[in-house]
Structure 1
Amino acid sequence: MKQIFFVHGDKGGVGKTEVAKRMAAVMLQAGRTVTLVDGDNKNPGLHAAFEHSGLDVQRINVMTAAGRDALFDVIAEAAGDVLIDLPARGSDVTERLNRDGASEDGFSLELLLREIDAELRILFVIDQTRPPLAALRDELKALPATTSWIIVRNWREERDFDLFDKSKTKADLDARGAPIIDLVRLDPRVNDILENEGLNLISAQTSDTLSMLQKMRVKAAVRSWSEQMKIAGLIE
């Protein structure tokens, strides 16, 4: 079954694009057929990471009606899975994809998924602050009950996720059987090189720009994220 992945988080800077980049790297390295969509018109980090690798990362401004129509076509026509990196305020997008489909300002994603026999999986990225948790709570109420949720805790700060762990939202997710996985921090110096050189976690492994130690850290990040994807049932 085709899988549609939305990397969501609503709040800017929460780590959505980093999750999208790691997902793309692991899926491509595993030989999965996946179409990459960068929905962040202002900061197209997913596109920047893979554009020099010969991949056609589609840039779509999903905040516009025309962009959402284009997204519909990509999802419907893709030969394999589709990975979409949503921009900040992604809930404004998902709200318009949760309609009856008659309006020109959106479409029924649930109906499309039934038509093409696909499954929607939302990877919702949170950090230790309150705004992403509040957005997650609202999205759980707004999106169809058939939505499959995976929560990604971004450990960019060395402190616990107390707000999330003690919340009713986590209890709701536990009742739904939603996996909770962890994004470990990659050496910021390595991240800077990847961004400045237009590299991703695949191309960086053979690049002359990184030292052997830095390449080992890249490989460790790929291994770590592969294990988390296995926990979430995203890869075997």
Structure 2
Amino acid sequence: MNMPIFYVGGSKGGVGKSKLTFALIDYLLDDGKQVLLLESDTSNPDVYKAHHQHENGMLVCKEIDLDISDGWIELVNAADEFPDHCLVINSAARSNTGIAKYGSTLRETLAELNRNLVTFWVINRQRDSVELLRGFLNVFPDALIHVCRNLYFGSPEKFELYNRSKSREIIERKGRTLDFSDLGDRMADKLYSGRMPIKKALEELPI
């Protein structure tokens, strides 16, 4: 089995997808994995801007547009070209439309690519977070999905709509519900304004 494809989704702006992608890339690199970042947020490619200047033998960065069919073909080709790399896809806020139209391009080639799809779906406390998750489940019913409650929006028990939803029951048959701790505003601002990956921030920023 080749390295997994990690999809960081949520389909909403401001739920914390980019911050989770920062953390995932840092975790994989620290674990000795090679990483191919595919940045699909073409409007605000913060993750790409922070990482592409630090590319090396372990990290490759590309931008793709998953609003169009060619972008999904490019994704599949990248997965085939870099079989030893974990693919990390940072999705855009509007990604639900592209997933509904073209997501089957990836779903139908996973077996041929010999890769598993692992999704981290970031949510806030609003209803559309859960509804957009249902849309993703319709396209990728067999994917391993972990839902990440972003605790910036409150404690776990405050995510009532998701906590009591049928979607949670479906998710937890295979995946998990995870809590993503709030990142201090000062640190978050430094990561974005300084456009630096977490490892670089740990080396350069004061305690």
Q: TM-score, normalised by structure 2?
A: 0.90
Distance 1:70 1:85 in 2: 15
Amino acid of the structure 2 residue aligned with 1:95? A
Cα distance 1:201–1:189, how it changes in 2: closer, same or farther (>3 A)? same
CA-to-partner distance for each residue in 1:117-175, whole Å, 9 max, x for gaps? 110111111111111111112222x124321111111111234111111112212223x
Residues 52 and 198 of structure 1 are in contact (CA less than 8 Å); yes or no, is this contact kept in structure 2? Answer: no
Please provide the CA RMSD for this pair: 1.6
User: 2:183 is matched with which residue?
Assistant: 186
CA-to-partner distance for each residue in 1:75-114, whole Å, 9 max, x for gaps? 1211321010011121222223444xxxxxxx2x233111
Distance 2:121 2:60 in 1: 24
User: 2:99 is matched with which residue?
Assistant: 94
Report whether the alignment pairs 1:125 with 2:127.
Answer: no
Q: TM-score, normalised by structure 1?
A: 0.79
Distance 1:171 1:149 in 2: 12
Distance 1:129 1:14 in 2: 10
Gaps of 5+ in 1: 100-106, 213-236
3-state SS of the aligned residue for 2:108? helix
Cα distance 1:66–1:80, how it changes in 2: closer, same or farther (>3 A)? same
Residues 53 and 203 of structure 1 are in contact (CA less than 8 Å); yes or no, is this contact kept in structure 2? Answer: no
User: 1:196 is matched with which residue?
Assistant: 193
Kindly state the Cα deviation for residue 7 of structure 1 after the two structures are TM-superposed. Answer: 0.6
Distance 1:164 1:111 in 2: 29
Distance 1:110 1:157 in 2: 32
Q: Which has the higher contact order (CA 8 A, sep 6+)?
A: 2
Aligned counterpart for 2:152 among listed residues 146, 153, 156: 156
3-state SS of the aligned residue for 2:198? coil
Kindly state the Cα deviation for residue 115 of structure 1 after the two structures are TM-superposed. Answer: 0.7
Residues 147 and 176 of structure 2 are in contact (CA less than 8 Å); yes or no, is this contact kept in structure 1? Answer: yes
Aligned length: 200
Amino acid of the structure 2 residue aligned with 1:113? L
Residues 15 and 124 of structure 2 are in contact (CA less than 8 Å); yes or no, is this contact kept in structure 1? Answer: yes
Amino acid of the structure 2 residue aligned with 1:16? K
Distance 2:47 2:202 in 1: 17
Distance 1:48 1:163 in 2: 34
Distance 2:101 2:26 in 1: 29
3-state SS of the aligned residue for 1:198? coil
Kindly state the Cα deviation for residue 211 of structure 1 after the two structures are TM-superposed. Answer: 1.6
Kindly state the Cα deviation for residue 61 of structure 1 after the two structures are TM-superposed. Answer: 1.6
Q: How many percent identity over aligned positions?
A: 25
3-state SS of the aligned residue for 2:80? helix
Kindly state the Cα deviation for residue 45 of structure 1 after the two structures are TM-superposed. Answer: 1.3
3-state SS of the aligned residue for 2:5? strand
Distance 2:171 2:65 in 1: 30
Greater gyration radius: 1
Distance 2:153 2:142 in 1: 32
